[in-house]
């Protein structure tokens, strides 16, 4: 377990702002509600819309990616935003599951 955590820090994945915000939201959510409500949240489309909006704002505001040649800039940034939204959703679920596993 510790090698896996060290690998996350070594690769820099855990220091990604989308992952860090997902971890913070997952810990907050686990402290505020029970696991049944976490599963209900993942069945609600508003949560996915929130993740997508957060990822688009982050990627278009802070982490601009450019395509070679300057063509397809918005498509490249949109693909990066979808990847960031997926990282956010996965990190929220993993953080909430970890807190429930340790404390409950």
For residues 72 and 3, the model is more confident at: 3
- pTM recorded for the entire structure: 0.82
What pLDDT shows up at residue 53? 93
Residues 70-94: pLDDT tens digits? 667 777 788 888 999 999 999 999 9
- R_g over Cα of the chain: 15
Q: Which two tokens stand for residue 61?
A: 């505001």
């Amino acid at each position: 377990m510790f090698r896996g955590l060290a690998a996350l820090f070594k690769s820099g994945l855990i220091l990604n702002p989308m992952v860090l915000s997902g971890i913070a939201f997952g810990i907050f959510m686990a402290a505020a509600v029970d696991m049944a409500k976490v599963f209900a949240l993942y069945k609600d489309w508003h949560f996915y819309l929130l993740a997508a909006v957060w990822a688009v704002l982050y990627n278009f505001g802070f982490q601009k990616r450019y395509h070679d040649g300057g063509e397809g800039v918005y498509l490249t940034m949109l693909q990066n935003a979808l990847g960031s939204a997926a990282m956010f959703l996965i990190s929220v679920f993993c953080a909430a599951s970890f807190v429930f596993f340790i404390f409950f």
